[in-house]
């Protein structure tokens, strides 16, 4: 009996470790943006429930697999960084082989779901996103250039495009606007984190912007990119993709983000950088939620 109990506990810990490898908090934001894209792609009414379910499941699986591959490739780096050394691989809770097998099974299942239950376009776009993050960003960009998060941000900006393609079967200009918003949002979001984790990145030997160019340059870059983001978020209104409700939300949220970026530039502290990073997550979620509310109030 005790042996069975111990095996059960070990099995439960193993499942928990696999779950942690998928970076569930990041994955939640990815899936949220993809689902918003699905609903915005429908001119009137609601998207088919079966398509939404299958696309959500497939995209979540592939995103989780990409996160696991990222952890697999960076396990030695993770072991040297305070922020990541508690992940399952550095702690020895999982091995490289079983992590690779898990990622292959999860990612393969997600792609099969997308191909069979959604459409081939969404499957191929999702596969390209997987390669962009797990290979191009993780292997080629992150260890080589301080602009890694800018270039690699293209993969992170794809979720609403994937959701749009899942429902409509195409990628339109409106879908690309959603892509552009997340693309512009990524640098101030991630550099805020990098600022208060500079010592960690330097210890790991990663050329993040605060390590290579210093705090002042990074803070100015955050401010400038936030200004760009503010302008980009007005484009859905300018193109008549959205209405006044979204415009009001975009201006309010953008003003709040700009105020934080300005304060971070003028009077830096790790606490301000941490709060700016956390606000950026709330900002993106609220902005996309406003797009959805505006969409259905205008067609209702």
**What architecture (CATH level 2) is domain 1-171?**
Orthogonal Bundle (1.10)
The predicted model scores a pTM of: 0.93
Q: What is the pLDDT of residue 5?
A: 56
Model confidence band, residue 120 (pLDDT cutoffs 50, 70, 90) = very high
Measured CA to CA, the distance from residue 131 to residue 187 in angstroms comes to 20
pLDDT tens-digit profile of 192-232?
999 999 998 998 888 999 999 999 999 999 999 999 999 99
pLDDT at 6 over 50: no
CB atoms inside a 10 Å sphere around CB 73: 18
Measured CA to CA, the distance from residue 188 to residue 293 in angstroms comes to 25
Q: What is the 3-state secondary structure (H, E, C) of 146-175?
A: CCHHHHHHHHHCCHHHHHHHHHHCCCCHHH
Model confidence band, residue 251 (pLDDT cutoffs 50, 70, 90) = very high
Q: What is the pLDDT of residue 10?
A: 53
Tell me the torsion sign for CA atoms 192, 195, 200, 201.
positive
Model confidence band, residue 141 (pLDDT cutoffs 50, 70, 90) = confident
Instruction: Evaluate whether 1-171 and 172-300 have a shared fold.
Output: no
Rg of the chain on CA atoms, in Å: 20
CATH number given to 172-300? 1.20.120
Tokens of 129: 């996103």
Bin 269: left if φ > 0, else alpha if -120 < ψ < 50, else beta. beta
Q: Domain-by-domain residue ranges, the chain?
A: 1-171, 172-300
Model confidence band, residue 1 (pLDDT cutoffs 50, 70, 90) = low
- Rounded mean pLDDT, 267-286: 96
CA atoms within 13 A on the CB side of 285: 13
pLDDT tens-digit profile of 48-107?
999 999 999 999 999 999 999 999 998 988 888 888 888 888 888 888 999 999 999 999
In order of 18, 128, 183, 289, the CA distances from 167 in angstroms are 30, 18, 22, 18
């Amino acid at each position: 009996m005790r042996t069975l109990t111990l095996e059960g506990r070990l099995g439960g810990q193993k499942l928990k470790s696999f779950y942690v490898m998928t970076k569930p908090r990041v994955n939640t934001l990815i899936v949220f943006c993809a689902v918003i894209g699905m609903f915005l792609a429908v001119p009137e009414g609601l998207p088919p429930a079966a398509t939404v379910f299958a696309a959500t499941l497939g995209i979540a699986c592939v995103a989780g697999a990409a996160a696991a591959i990222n952890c697999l490739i960076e396990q030695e780096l993770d072991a040297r960084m305070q922020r990541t050394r508690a992940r399952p691989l550095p702690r020895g809770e999982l091995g490289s082989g079983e992590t690779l097998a898990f990622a292959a099974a999860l990612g393969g299942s997600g792609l099969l779901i997308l191909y069979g239950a959604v459409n081939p376009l969404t499957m191929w776009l999702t596969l390209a996103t997987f390669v962009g993050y797990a290979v191009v960003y993780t292997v080629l960009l992150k260890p080589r250039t301080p602009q890694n998060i800018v270039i690699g941000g293209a993969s992170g900006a794809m979720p609403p495009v994937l959701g749009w393609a899942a429902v409509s079967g195409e990628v339109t200009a409106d879908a690309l606007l959603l892509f552009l918003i997340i693309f512009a949002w990524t640098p101030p979001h991630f550099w805020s984190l990098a600022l208060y984790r500079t010592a960690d990145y330097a210890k790991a030997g990663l050329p993040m912007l605060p390590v290579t160019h210093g705090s002042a340059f990074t803070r100015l870059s955050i401010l400038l990119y936030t200004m760009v983001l503010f302008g980009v978020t007005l484009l859905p209104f300018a193109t008549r993709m959205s209405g006044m409700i979204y415009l009001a939300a975009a201006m309010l949220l953008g003003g709040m983000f700009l105020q934080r970026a300005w304060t971070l530039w003028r009077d830096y502290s790790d606490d301000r950088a941490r709060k700016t990073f956390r606000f950026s997550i709330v900002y993106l979620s609220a902005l996309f939620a406003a797009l959805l509310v505006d969409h259905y109030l205008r067609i209702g």
